[in-house]
Amino acid sequence: MSKRILICNRGEIAIRIAKAVRELGHTAVGFWTDNELEPPHLEYCDIWLHLKGNNNTETYLNMDQILKLVSEHKIEAVHPGYGFLSENTIFAKKLEEMAVIFIGPHSFAIEKMGDKAISKQMAKDSGVPVIPGSTGEIESAKEAAEISKEIGYPVLLKAVAGGGGKGMRVCLSEDELEKNFAAVRREAESSFGNPGVLVEKYILNPHHIEVQILADKKGNIFHCFERECSVQRRHQKIIEEAPSPFIGDDESLRLKISETAVLLAKAVNYDSAGTVEFIMAEDKSFYFLEMNTRIQVEHPITEEITGVDLVANMIKSALGEELDIKSQAEIKILGHAIECRICAEDPVTMLPAPGKVVAFDYSFPQGVRFDHCIYKGFEVKPDFDPMIGKLIVRGLNRKVAIRKTKDALSRMHIDGVKTNLKLHEIIIDQENFVAGDYTTNYISEVKPQDQVEALVSDVALFKKALAIEIESMRQ
């Protein structure tokens, strides 16, 4: 039977969810707010609701107002997307109490996997390799120093709650650890409302590898293989690809890390789409990092190489329906996919650059998907995440995917706001990336942003010279 499904989010992910909701024959319900009167996702929704407020705290993070609207408009299911309330245990529990379906895992999984200390201990108990360090929250810098001395520097101070690169500091010595401890606690409290911190060994030259999980409410848990997410700035991903070029054709390693992710999912009786993230060392040993109990920003590249519609199957799982997949053997890798996160940010400093889009155009080659929320006149506001779209390219193999990505990036034009398009163009064409020889240190070591800065300077110099030439001709 058709259900009213509220999309408790905005931007490109709200559009993606609305498409899946309607494809499955359900009614898509979307929000508009006082600081976003004409959000593009409403074009794909059947019902529009007013979520009053002028900032995230008053709107998408306002649990009481959202729950009231859920009740008033007889909402039968809620899809939170990513960010906002997507991994909020209280929100999931309150919906359960209202007999409203939360399109995500059960609240126990969210609660246990949302705490880095608890999830690390559960992983350890399940036989999943974990990074050496504290087994739980540490109380003082002194305790952190004692553990760090035992496991050896460098170490990473990390908030037990949250994610997105916030509340994390690398410490190379005891002096740095003592200086950073209080700062990490403050940032954790400010960002996540939880000052808890843990300490663990910092893996040098690491790769960020994650495994996509998909499960139903009948006890079936499948993996959809891995994604490489090592091109990052400030612990936030910029480019992802699937499968991982670092794992390459090592099928035994691919199977091992994928089955390890399933092992952890089974430990919490997982029953939705989710992602188990790992840090992989230079010797290809890997360690559990965290589990994201929601759909990921980079889920499209997994969809492209497997043909599995993760969002649609996530909805089907929540409704107690059978997945499109009947066995693990059905899920196979076909080709290679790359995702570039297109953000309204300065391509050199990589800091948000809000503004209004005055021109937007693209003409992509075959095999390109662009999940986005922009149009001519769209205003990128400072209170929202600067990501405005995701360029997803699939090729028969990695070489073809890179070629198509370069072509697609060169055929996209966004004016009025600064974007990181030029940064992506440089990275995709850079020797280390093309060779698949990069780690999470790529941005800090290779510094592709310096090449962007040089290009920007050259263009500015050319424009200045051109203006002088035009002026002299007028005289």
The second-level CATH assignment, the architecture, of 4-103 is 3-Layer(aba) Sandwich (3.40)
Q: Which CATH class is domain 132-201?
A: alpha beta
CATH number of 207-456: 3.30.470.20
Residues contacting residue 448 through CB under 8 Å, at least 6 positions apart: 423, 426, 427, 430
Which residue stretches of the chain have pLDDT < 50?
A: none
Pairing of strands 273-280, 286-292: antiparallel
Domain extents in the chain = 4-103, 132-201, 207-456
**Which candidate in 233, 294, 369, 398 is catalytic?**
294
d(CA 381, CA 398): 35
Q: Are 407 and 430 in contact (CB under 8 A)?
A: no
CA 339 to chain centroid = 11
pLDDT at 308: 98
What phi, psi does 356 have (nearest 5°)? -115, 135
What phi, psi does 79 have (nearest 5°)? -105, 120
Is residue 186 annotated as a catalytic residue, yes or no?
no
pLDDT at 454: 86
